[in-house]
Amino acid sequence: MIELKKAVAYKDRILKLIHGGHLNESLQELWKFHDHFSKYADDRDLGYNDIMLVTSRFNSIKTDNIRGLLIPKEYRDHINEISPPIIAYTEALYEHLEHINRLKQLDEETKIRNIIYSNRELVTLNLQGTIELSDEEVSALAIKLYRFDKTTKERIILDYISNSSASNYQKKISQAEKDIAAKVQAESIVFQATALRKKYTTPLSTLLKGRFNTKNKNDFELYVSEMTLHYGEVIGLVGENATGKSTLLNIIAGSLSKSSGNLRYPQFQTATKNLNWGHLKKRISYVPQHLTEWHGSLLENISFAAALHGIHGKKNQSATARIINLLGLGNYIDRSWKELSGGYRLRFALAKALVWKPELLILDEPLAHLDVNAQITVLKDLKDLADNSDNSIAILLTSQHIHELEFITDRMLFMRAGKIVEEANRPNKNAHYEIACGQDQEKLKAVLAEFPEIKIEDKIMYLHISTPISLEQKALLDKIAENQIQLQYFRNISQSIKTKFYESEET
């Protein structure tokens, strides 16, 4: 069934952007709306050509204005012509999805009713007594069961007809839901590692020359006991510098060999030994931290990336236009590397990595060197991408921008000294806060020190406060307010993986 709540959210967001005069952003949302739901339509284009025309028209107006070919009034008039078709296509797309949803639900319920009625007489004949189901019961049962696959539906329905126990029926429903959830979970695994090890050994020549250093990269060892990544997941990998994050990403992407352990890509290759990296890399896209300068225009490079993965002719043009519009690069298709800002260079790298629809996207420090607005835009693009069920993609990324990363990730992993210590969802024994108050920092320390079992660390820009869980945040803030200390910054990081940075290696 179609996720109509998500469709409503897209529609409302687009209309709000238009009414706020943000046409460029509204077109990006319209493309995402189209891209997310086109799989449900009999006609996969679902207004693609119409949306492409209005996008091209909008980009043409913007280009003419930049070149000075339009006076302000002409520019405003032309821009005002863009809003009505965007609204019309948005409303038409939503209405079409509503119609498809009604048809699909009716079709499912009809199929289930047929299953019930076709088996009812046969089952009843094998019973000592006769169990009657009213039309209302059949209809209610059909509505409850339409979400299950056919085999499960038949099993539940037959059990229900042959056993009048309502509690038994509920147990069957619950078990079926668990079975299906487990099956979906197992079939969604994109990557799995067990006992993965990468060891760098100091060369004998270096030892003989007396250059041995325990902190040298040559003495580093990466070890991951277990790690799994599923379709639709965004996983953040964080840790201090030189803990093995980039090493792990390169191994998963096939750019670096492992020393030992097991790597599995069950959706790409069933074999666990002798991985065919030529085949696997056709499904994995890796964007390194340091982007390589390219030549030619943005459009030419994205089109070339699609061609390298076997997408040619009209399919190439369609795929290139889709990703350009999805990431809001329409105004920059003729730009070269030197004409793009850091944020747009990264968005170009994402477009190049995504144009051929990989199923595993790996990003090493994508937020580095981006301003705040660019970070928000890129994170939103990644979140939308993962939420788009039509893409079937898993995302793994590293970043030192922890709070921003936590906003879009499903799970956060913390690395220390080459090992994934633990996931962030384990409860902390203490509450953790970051507090800053400018000139009153010393006074703040003295006030907070009055609380028992409180630990205060001066991090120069702010104080890191660790308190027992029993001490409520309100009591802490009330104490600060009583002493008339004006706070400049306050953040409760108790549920953040950032607390792992404050723990010693022995913890």
The verdict on 170 and 202 lying in the same domain is no
pLDDT at 232 over 60: yes
Report the alpha-carbon distance of residue 186 to residue 131 in Å, rounded: 38
Given a contact cutoff of 8 angstroms between Cβ atoms, the answer to whether 436 and 486 are in contact is: no
The verdict on 282 and 351 lying in the same domain is yes
Residue 167 covered by a domain? yes
How many structural domains does the chain have?
A: 3
The verdict on 60 and 208 lying in the same domain is no
The verdict on 205 and 334 lying in the same domain is yes
The domain boundary residue, chosen from 187, 203, 232: 187
What's residue 204's pLDDT? 47
The domain boundary residue, chosen from 140, 163, 187: 187
On average, the pLDDT of the chain sits at 79
Residues 6+ apart with CB under 8 A from 433: 464, 465, 467, 473, 476, 490, 491, 492, 493, 494
Instruction: Give the dihedral of Cα atoms 331, 336, 340, 343; nearest 10 deg.
Output: 90
Report the alpha-carbon distance of residue 408 to residue 141 in Å, rounded: 38
Residue 328 covered by a domain? yes
The verdict on 248 and 383 lying in the same domain is yes
The domain boundary residue, chosen from 365, 395, 423: 423
CATH number of the domain bearing residue 475: 3.30.70.100
Which single residue is written with the structure tokens 């956060």? Answer: 412
Residue 507 covered by a domain? no
The verdict on 109 and 246 lying in the same domain is no
Residue 288 covered by a domain? yes
Sign of CA dihedral 307, 312, 314, 319: negative
The verdict on 48 and 182 lying in the same domain is yes
The verdict on 164 and 41 lying in the same domain is yes
pLDDT confidence bin for 2, thresholds 50/70/90: low
Give 274-331 pLDDT, tens digit per residue.
788 888 888 999 998 888 888 888 889 999 999 988 898 888 888 898 888 878 888 8
What's residue 125's pLDDT? 44
The verdict on 62 and 124 lying in the same domain is yes
* Residue 392 Cα distances to 183, 267, 422, angstroms: 16, 11, 26
The verdict on 99 and 157 lying in the same domain is yes
Give 40-99 pLDDT, tens digit per residue.
655 555 677 788 888 888 888 888 887 788 888 888 888 888 888 888 888 888 888 887
Host domain of residue 481? 430-502
Q: What is the pTM of this model?
A: 0.70
Tokens of 158: 């037959």
The verdict on 267 and 399 lying in the same domain is yes
Any alpha helices (H) in 359-426, and if so which ranges?
372-387, 402-408
pLDDT at 237 over 50: yes
The verdict on 414 and 442 lying in the same domain is no
